[in-house]
Amino acid sequence: MGASFVPLMIFTVIWGGVGIVLPFLVPKGPNRGVVQVVLMLTGATCWLFWLCCYMAQMNPLIGPIISWKTALVMQQEWGSGPQPAD
Amino acid sequence: MGSLFRSEEMALCQLFLQSEAAYACVSELGELGLAQFRDLNPDVNAFQRKFVNEVRRCDEMERKLRYLEKEIKKDGIPTMDSGELVEAPQPREMIDLEATFEKLENELREVNQNAEALKRNFLELTELKHILKKTQVFFDEMADPSRDQDEQVNLLGEEGLRAGGQSLKLGFVAGVILRERIPAFERMLWRACRGNVFLRQAEIDNPLEDPTSGDQVYKSVFIIFFQGDQLKTRVKKICEGFRATLYPCPETPNDRREMAIGVMTRIEDLNTVLSQTQDHRHRVLVAAAKNIKMWFTKVRKIKAIYHTLNLFNLDVTQKCLIAECWVPVLDLEAIHLALRRGTERSGSSVPPILNRMETKEIPPTYFRLNKFTKGFQNLIDAYGVAAYREANPTPFTIITFPFLFAVMFGDLGHGALMFLFALWMVMNEKPLIAKKSTNEIWNIFFGGRYIILLMGVFSMYTGLIYNDVFSKSLNLFGSEWFVKDSNQAIFRRKTTMLDPKTGLTDYTYPLGMDPVWQVAENKINFLNAYKMKVSIIIGVIHMMFGVMVGLWNHQFFRRRVNVICEFIPQIIFMTFLFFYLCILIFHKWVNYSAKADLDPALINEGAHCAPSVLITFINMVLFKSSEKVGECEPYMYGGQEGFQKFLVVIGLLCVPWMLCAKPYLIYKQRQLQHNKFDNVNGGSVMEEGGAAQLGAGDAAAAVPSGGHDEEESFQDVCIHQGIHTIEYVLGCVSNTASYLRLWALSLAHAQLSEVLWSMVMRIGLAQSGWYGGIVLWAIFGAWATLTLGILVLMEGLSAFLHTLRLHWVEFQNKFYAGTGYSFLPFCFESMLEAAQNAEVD
């Protein structure tokens, strides 16, 4: 799972930016506290949700059952997967 | 810290106002809207209060204004709101206003009465005109065309002179009656007069206006011929009974023509007068319509000020009024300024005095809200207003509410529809508010526009992660699953199962659910496992967050006892049992993979051997040890059995900790206080007190403290602690399971969406031929209506309700008391709004 950490990095950086960096940039005003909490919660919840979906698919224990028509179309449109290097 | 996190600090203030300045000061405070006055005369009858006369005068003025408004509306004249701030007028202005309204009302009533009389007259003349016209027709018909065209045509002609040689003189009456009554009228005439009268009737084509009701009615002209006086009386009585109006109609055509001309002239004159009257009325109403909204505001403000003044206490000896009010501490300066302004305006020399009082009463809860936070605060307040200065769940709800909604609703298409609708409402806020709609359902949706906006945005995000757009998936990055078999292998079997060992690349689909699952037949199996785990993870984190907010409350109120006796065991119990469950879930996701089955040495990490997290958890709590099945290890990591036993034991120990620690500490505290109290009183008493305490001291069970009354008897403390503990422990289990509704609703939504597509839309897309386009257009209409009605509206409301429940119960019962009451300041704005809403209803 080497290079598959790229998405992990990207999304952690994005939601980390929203939840950790942006709160420092909120302008002073009566709503500063509320906006900071909003940003932090948004970052945390959205990152957690994405992470759960990603981790659930990292090591799937079952595979999809495809009907034969769909399988043929899949092979035609999406190819038959990475070919072994010769 | 923003004031939304905790309610404002409030102060109870006493206000001393000089009687002359009182009105102006209250007016200024009403404009400011930051003081809640208390009723200092609760047992005084409404009719015995000091300013009851002024209130009565205001009521009378309001009645006159309402009459004026009704007349203005009847004429359809638009009333304009200038939008400027209308200040409450001085007391002396009230007399001027009263005089103006009186004059207007009298004028209007007079005009209306005159108009009615004129209309009645007009009606009579019109009916007379019609009679003259129609009877001319009757007489014309009777004329024999063969005879000479003589002006004087006798009605009966020859026959009248024949019988008995005497000329039979026929009398007649002419009149007008409602068209509906003619058949009954005829029948009655026939029966009463034994068929000896002759009725002719003709309909009047135009409808005539009834002067009292203003309705348009259809009438008919009739003429009755009879012989003799008896019949005449009878006929007249019947006409009276049927409310027919009789008119004198001359016999000869010449007379009739003259009368007709006279009537026409009079009608024209009357028309002129009538139109002039209407013009006058219209002018009066237009002049009034310019000011009527302003007058309403003024009168309502005066009434509100006098109602408030009625709450004050009059100190007769010092000629001043005393008031008590709750005021936010941060706004004391503003109140002082307002009072000073009021005193200056009234020209009084004595400044008002504002005293802050110490009190043991619980102040009201006040949050400063803007249009965005108001919606969310309403959601929380609907369950219970926050207790004074406890942590407010609203700032967290702003994000967690839309997020939990979106987990249940997750569909990019439906989320986009919701988002666009809310965006339209938000962009057109100002004109929509100005419309002042009375439709309750619309007002509910409009009031929650920011909530719906956020719900839409988050639903779009979760729809992206679930990869669900109107039940179809997006393939943005290319699926990571592929079909490797040859064509013949595929043909041979009805379905192909892609093995994760061979049909999966080394990468994972980066954003959300892989698109292959949408076309898979076992999509639900995979999604169920995923969504259930996500629901539990989200639920446990939400609840732990709730307990943390409770800790924040304990620290703010300096309740160290609670931190040690409640917070620590609570968090240990939840973490050791349920957060451990979440860790197990993550561990299983990371460590068990189908690809490990390729290497025989790693069989314990393969898909075949992956233990069920749920069974593991149940066995852990029941202290059951799992045996090896086949070649697979039942445990996920080394030392799991021992570690789990340790966790459960500590978790269970937390229960008596929660139950007994706090009552015991409180008991010890009270003992100490008791000792100190007794020490002051003297030695001998201490001995007695000591003996009594020794006797009662051993049991931690209910011991009512004798003598002095504490805030809570020890019995109550124990019972409360027991309830609290049981609620928390059982709640942890049931609430965690309750979060599974996140899975259930999202499954229902996805399946409904799929059914709608495959049963409705696909039929349209499968049509062929040129008429297929028309069929597709019709079917799209049906699909769109069902999508909006069922999936967006019904499912949206359902998910909204479930999210609300999750917040109100599962989140808030970890820390929220919700026993406060709202701060309702004396504010002109809110009072005017309430009056307007009541008026429209």
Q: Is A12 on the interface with B (CB under 8 A)?
A: no
Distance from CA of B578 to the nearest CA of A (A): 17
Residue A86 lies in a domain: no
Provide φ and ψ at B45, rounded to 5°: -65, 150
In chain B, % of residues over pLDDT 70: 92
The count of domains in chain A is 1
Average pLDDT, chain B: 86
The band of B14, judged by pLDDT with boundaries at 50, 70 and 90, is very high
Cα B199 to Cα B196: distance, rounded to the nearest angstrom: 10
One DSSP character per residue, B570-630 reads HHHHHIIIIIHHHHHHHHHHHH--GGGGGSGGGGGGSGGGPPPHHHHHHHHHTTPPPPPBT
Name the pTM for this structure: 0.83
Q: What angle in degrees, to the nearest 10, is found between the helix axes of A32-58 and B449-466?
A: 20
Min mean pLDDT across A19-23, B367-371, B833-837 is at: B833-837
How far from B104 is each of B284, B290, B604, CA to CA, in Å? 8, 13, 96
**Is a pLDDT exceeding 60 seen at residue B725?**
yes
- The size of the A-B interface in CB pairs under 8 A is 188
Q: What is the ipTM of this complex?
A: 0.95
Query: Residue B98 corresponds to which tokens in the numbers above?
Result: 């009263």
Min mean pLDDT across B302-316, B725-739, B785-799 is at: B302-316
The band of B1, judged by pLDDT with boundaries at 50, 70 and 90, is very low
Q: Which residue of A has its CA nearest to B487?
A: A72
Average pLDDT over residues B629-633: 76
Query: What's the pLDDT score for residue B841?
Result: 63
B537 interaction partners in chain A (CB closer than 8 Å): 48, 52
Helices (H), chain A: 5-16, 32-58, 68-78
B530 interaction partners in chain A (CB closer than 8 Å): 52-53, 56
Residue A10 lies in a domain: yes
Query: What's the pLDDT score for residue B337?
Result: 92
B505 with B482: CB under 8 angstroms? yes
Residue A84 lies in a domain: no
Cα A47 to Cα A43: distance, rounded to the nearest angstrom: 6
Cα B604 to Cα B143: distance, rounded to the nearest angstrom: 123
Residue A35 lies in a domain: yes
Maximum average pLDDT range among B340-354, B395-409, B680-694: B395-409
Residue A85 lies in a domain: no
**Is a pLDDT exceeding 60 seen at residue B701?**
no
Q: Is A13 on the interface with B (CB under 8 A)?
A: no
Out of A4, A56, A64, closest to residue B533 by CB: A56
Torsion of the alpha carbons at B102, B104, B110 and B115, rounded to the nearest 10: -160
**Is a pLDDT exceeding 50 seen at residue B695?**
no
Average pLDDT over residues B358-370: 92
Look at B593 and A61 and tell me if their CB atoms are within 8 Å: yes
Give SS3 for B200: strand
Query: What's the pLDDT score for residue B682?
Result: 53
Domain that holds residue A43: 5-78
B628's CB contacts (< 8 A; 6+ apart) are B634
Distance from CA of A16 to the nearest CA of B (A): 16
Q: Which residue of B has its CA nearest to A45?
A: B403
Query: What's the pLDDT score for residue B223?
Result: 87
N-terminal to C-terminal alpha carbon distance within chain A: 22
Query: What's the pLDDT score for residue B401?
Result: 97
Q: What angle in degrees, to the nearest 10, is found between the helix axes of B394-409 and B371-381?
A: 80
Q: What are B512-547's pLDDT values in tens digits?
A: 999 999 999 999 999 999 999 999 999 999 999 999
Query: Residue B751 corresponds to which tokens in the numbers above?
Result: 């399946």
Q: What are B465-485's pLDDT values in tens digits?
A: 999 999 999 999 888 888 887
B86's CB contacts (< 8 A; 6+ apart) are B294, B297, B298, B301
Average pLDDT over residues B774-788: 95
Query: What's the pLDDT score for residue B110?
Result: 92
In chain B, % of residues over pLDDT 90: 46
**Is a pLDDT exceeding 50 seen at residue B692?**
no
Distance from CA of B588 to the nearest CA of A (A): 9
Q: What are B539-587's pLDDT values in tens digits?
A: 999 999 999 999 999 999 998 888 988 999 999 999 999 999 999 999 9
Q: Is A45 on the interface with B (CB under 8 A)?
A: yes
Distance from CA of B562 to the nearest CA of A (A): 26
The band of B334, judged by pLDDT with boundaries at 50, 70 and 90, is very high
pLDDT: is B749 or B71 the higher one? Answer: B749
Look at A4 and B507 and tell me if their CB atoms are within 8 Å: yes
Cα B757 to Cα B759: distance, rounded to the nearest angstrom: 6
Query: Residue B626 corresponds to which tokens in the numbers above?
Result: 């799992």
Identify the burial level of B397 via C-beta atoms within 10 angstroms of its C-beta, where 0-12 means exposed, 13-18 middle and 19 or more buried.
buried
Distance from CA of B666 to the nearest CA of A (A): 36
Residue A83 lies in a domain: no
Structure-token match 């043929």, residue found: A72
Query: What's the pLDDT score for residue A37?
Result: 95
Residue A25 lies in a domain: yes
The band of B502, judged by pLDDT with boundaries at 50, 70 and 90, is confident
Helices (H), B311-448: 332-346, 371-381, 394-409, 412-427, 429-435, 440-447
Residue A58 lies in a domain: yes
**Is a pLDDT exceeding 60 seen at residue A12?**
yes
Give SS3 for B272: helix
Structure-token match 């037949």, residue found: B521
Q: Which domains does chain B show, CATH number per domain?
A: 2-107+285-357 (no CATH), 113-273 (3.30.70.3450), 560-694 (no CATH)
Q: What are A41-84's pLDDT values in tens digits?
A: 999 999 999 999 999 998 888 899 999 888 888 888 887 777 76
Look at B516 and A49 and tell me if their CB atoms are within 8 Å: no
Query: What's the pLDDT score for residue B729?
Result: 94
B155's CB contacts (< 8 A; 6+ apart) are B139, B142, B170, B225
Min mean pLDDT across B139-143, B677-681, B815-819 is at: B139-143
Query: Residue B805 corresponds to which tokens in the numbers above?
Result: 């429940």
Query: Residue B621 corresponds to which tokens in the numbers above?
Result: 């709590």
